[in-house]
Amino acid sequence: MEIIEGGVTAPKGFKAAGVRAGIKATSTKQDMAMVYTEIPAAVAGTFTRNLVKAAPVVYDMRVVEDEKIAQAVVVNTGVANACTGDDGYKNAVEMAELTAEALDINEKQVLVCSTGVIGYKLPMDIIRDGIKQLAGKLSGSNEAAEDAAIAILTTDTHKKETAFKFAVGGKTCYMGGMCKGSGMIHPNMGTMLGFITTDCAVGQSLLQKALRECIEDTFNMVSVDGDTSTNDTVLLLANGMAENALITEENEDYETFKAVLHEMCLYLAKQIAGDGEGATRLFMAKVEGAASLEDARALAKSIITSNLVKCAVYGRDANVGRILCAMGYSGVQFTPEEADVTIISEKGTIKLCENGMYTDFSEDEATEILSPSEITAVVTLKAGDYSATAYGCDLTYDYVKINADYRS
């Protein structure tokens, strides 16, 4: 597998576009995006488990479940189309219809995503005009992929996209991905908005299985603020234009494809964690030696979700007590007296805690090791062979500033 330039348009037959439709009158940012495949693609999707689901989430769940095929995705920022009742659902359907009309494709094969403020209705006149603009701008260039990757952002500070080249059954395949997400990030399924395209030919049921499995230890292990959004969606479109033999069973080709998909999900998930609202660093917690995978995941996630741990990471404070405390209230049974905690970064490695007690570590050295923009806390439990990593960020003044002011 090779990382290449580009994003969602890297696979054969995919086009994209991003435009400013003007949904937020006060912003000059691009606010609508479209992804299109020349031939209909098998589609897999994972969606928020929040009971309060936005209208486009409810709509897309039906498309993935019933149609299993899609040819276009249309996205708007600014308004989440959540808590908008029957009118909200009608507007999601209309977005799909308008897109199908503009592209001359089957309206049942259009997916719709929205992100932004909860509770407000979509400005359908602006959306209608935006869709026309998008359809006219669709292109397979890297620039078009970048336009789309920028147009889906909200409080994110940078675009999040990448592309991979890989081989399946002797054929060269490509995979492209983009995502957005910075606040209200504590996915319980997929997360925020993520879009992955590939020209690899994969049967829909295996496509869905691969996505579901890859998401568990990537997007689902990310947390910025513990708030699971109403709009979380990850969509994966596979149009088969690489002309590899269609993957319909869990053979070597499937394993290859799934490994590439996992890399893609991991890359995008880490991008989101590191660009958490107000964050200054990506903070990862790896729990090793747990008695079960569930334990390892729950412990790792409890650590990166703790506000106190996150503040300590911001302050470069080697506050291992808060890490042990966060593990203690995770609900997982473990033996604190056997836990070791080590911090790792590009500046070095330091063991802060051994068998549940503080080591005699140097505070100055710990502060130095906590300084880079990526830090990992490794917890070793000696209870079993399971491990898991969770991806988070520090909690800063700017998180509060962004969320005291921004109507999300």
State the residues that interact with its own copies by CB under 8 A.
49-53, 80, 82-85, 117-120, 183-184, 186, 188, 225-230, 305-308, 311-312, 314-315, 317, 319-322, 324-329, 332-334, 336-337, 353, 355-358, 395-397, 399-405, 407-408
Nearest to its own copies of 183, 289 (CB atom): 183
Look-up of token digits 């999601």: 92
Minimum Å gap between C-beta 361 and its own copies is: 11
Q: CB–CB of 244/202 below 8 Å?
A: no
Marked catalytic residue, from 9, 46, 191, 197: 191
DSSP secondary structure letters along 190-211 = S-SEEEEEE-S-B-HHHHHHHH
Instruction: Report CA 37 to chain centroid distance, whole Å.
Output: 21
Please name every residue paired with 33 in a beta bridge, in sequence order, or none if there are none.
18, 75
Q: CB–CB of 19/30 below 8 Å?
A: yes
191 included as an active-site residue: yes
Minimum Å gap between C-beta 400 and its own copies is: 5
Minimum Å gap between C-beta 235 and its own copies is: 21
Minimum Å gap between C-beta 68 and its own copies is: 27
- CB proximity list for 243: less than 8 A, separation 6 or greater: 171, 201
Question: Which residue type sits at 52?
Answer: V
Nearest to its own copies of 98, 318 (CB atom): 318
Minimum Å gap between C-beta 191 and its own copies is: 13
Taking the alpha carbons of 76, 9, 43, 198 in that order, is the dihedral positive or negative?
negative
Rounded CA separation 216/231 (Å): 18
Nearest to its own copies of 2, 51 (CB atom): 51
Nearest to its own copies of 162, 230 (CB atom): 230
Nearest to its own copies of 121, 158 (CB atom): 121
CA-wise closest residue to 202 among 162, 163, 164, 171: 171
Catalytically annotated residues:
191
